[in-house]
Structure 1
Amino acid sequence: MRIVFMGTPGFAVPSLKLLLEQQYNVVAVVTQPDRPKGRKKTLTPPPVKEAALSFNLLVLQPERMRHADAVAAIAELQPDLIVTAAYGQILPKALLDIPRLGCINVHGSLLPRYRGGAPIQRSIMNGESSTGVTIMYMAEGLDTGDMISAVELPITDEDNSGTMFDKLSLAGAELLGQTLPSIVSGQAVAVPQQDDLATYAPNLTREDERIDWYKSARAIFNQVRGLSPMAGAFTYLNGEVFKVWACAESKGHASNKSLIPGTVLATDNEGIYVQTGEGVLLLKEIQPAGKRAMSAAEWLKGARLEAGALLGDGGAA
Structure 2
Amino acid sequence: MRIVFMGTPDFAVASLNTLLDNGYEVAAVVTQPDKPKGRKRTLTPPPVKEAALARGLQVLQPARMRSPEAVEALAALQPDLIVTAAYGQILPKEVLELPRLGCINVHGSLLPRYRGGAPIQRAIINGEAVTGVTIMYMAEGLDTGDMISRVEVPILDSDTSGDLFAKLSEAGAQLLAQTLPSIVDGTASATPQNHEEATYAPNLNREDERLDWNRSARELYNQVRGLAPMAGAFTYLNGEVFKVWACKPEPQSDDSAAAPGTVLPGASGSLLVQTGDGALRLLTIQPAGKKAMDAEAWLQGARLPAGTRFGGEPQ
Same fold (TM > 0.5): yes
Whole-Å separation in 1 of the counterparts to 2:92 and 2:295:
47
Q: Is the 8 A contact 2:210 2:233 kept in 1?
A: yes
Question: Counterpart of 2:29?
Answer: 29
Deviations 1:91-131 (A, max 9, x none): 00000000000000000000000000000000000000010
Deviations 1:251-307 (A, max 9, x none): 364341x32210101375773100111111111110001111111022223222244
Aligned residues: 315
Q: Which runs of 5+ in 1 are unaligned?
A: none
Residue 100 (structure 2) pairs with residue 97 (structure 1): no
Whole-Å separation in 2 of the counterparts to 1:215 and 1:175:
37
Q: Matched residue of 1:177: which SS?
A: helix
Question: Counterpart of 1:69?
Answer: 69
Question: Counterpart of 1:131?
Answer: 131
Whole-Å separation in 2 of the counterparts to 1:92 and 1:270:
56
Residue 214 (structure 2) pairs with residue 214 (structure 1): yes
Whole-Å separation in 2 of the counterparts to 1:307 and 1:218:
25
Letter in 1 for 2:109: S
Letter in 2 for 1:77: L
Whole-Å separation in 2 of the counterparts to 1:115 and 1:290:
36
Whole-Å separation in 2 of the counterparts to 1:269 and 1:56:
56
Whole-Å separation in 2 of the counterparts to 1:206 and 1:243:
13
Q: Is the 8 A contact 2:269 2:299 kept in 1?
A: no
Q: Is the 8 A contact 1:269 1:297 kept in 2?
A: no
Indicate how the Cα distance of structure 1 residues 268 and 296 shifts in structure 2: closer, same or farther if over 3 A, else same: farther
Q: Is the 8 A contact 1:211 1:220 kept in 2?
A: yes
CA RMSD of aligned residues (A): 1.2
Whole-Å separation in 2 of the counterparts to 1:272 and 1:157:
21
Residue 178 (structure 2) pairs with residue 191 (structure 1): no
Question: Counterpart of 2:303?
Answer: 304
Q: Is the 8 A contact 2:261 2:273 kept in 1?
A: yes
What is the TM-score when the length of structure 2 is the normalising length? 0.97
Question: Counterpart of 1:53?
Answer: 53
Whole-Å separation in 1 of the counterparts to 2:135 and 2:123:
18
State which drifts further: 207-216 or 258-267: 258-267
Deviations 1:233-262 (A, max 9, x none): 000001100000011111364341x32210
Q: Matched residue of 2:4: which SS?
A: strand
Residue 57 (structure 2) pairs with residue 18 (structure 1): no
Residue 308 of structure 1: how far off its partner (Å): 1.4
Identity, % of aligned pairs?
70
Whole-Å separation in 2 of the counterparts to 1:84 and 1:287:
36
Deviations 1:63-95 (A, max 9, x none): 011111101100000000000000001000000
Residue 60 of structure 1: how far off its partner (Å): 0.2
Residue 42 of structure 1: how far off its partner (Å): 0.6
Question: Counterpart of 1:151?
Answer: 151
Indicate how the Cα distance of structure 1 residues 267 and 37 shifts in structure 2: closer, same or farther if over 3 A, else same: farther
Q: Matched residue of 2:52: which SS?
A: helix
Whole-Å separation in 2 of the counterparts to 1:218 and 1:252:
11
Q: Is the 8 A contact 1:270 1:284 kept in 2?
A: no
Q: Matched residue of 2:264: which SS?
A: strand
Whole-Å separation in 1 of the counterparts to 2:60 and 2:108:
24
Whole-Å separation in 2 of the counterparts to 1:18 and 1:226:
27
What is the TM-score when the length of structure 1 is the normalising length? 0.97
Question: Counterpart of 1:263?
Answer: 262
Whole-Å separation in 1 of the counterparts to 2:205 and 2:174:
31
Whole-Å separation in 2 of the counterparts to 1:273 and 1:143:
41
State which drifts further: 264-273 or 168-177: 264-273
Deviations 1:6-61 (A, max 9, x none): 00000000000000000100010000000010111110000000000000100000
Residue 313 of structure 1: how far off its partner (Å): 1.1
Whole-Å separation in 1 of the counterparts to 2:169 and 2:221:
24
Question: Counterpart of 1:167?
Answer: 167
Deviations 1:178-215 (A, max 9, x none): 00000000100010000000000000000000000011
Indicate how the Cα distance of structure 1 residues 43 and 21 shifts in structure 2: closer, same or farther if over 3 A, else same: same
Deviations 1:141-199 (A, max 9, x none): 00000000000011111101000000000000000000000000010001000000000
Whole-Å separation in 1 of the counterparts to 2:68 and 2:268:
59
Q: Matched residue of 1:247: which SS?
A: strand
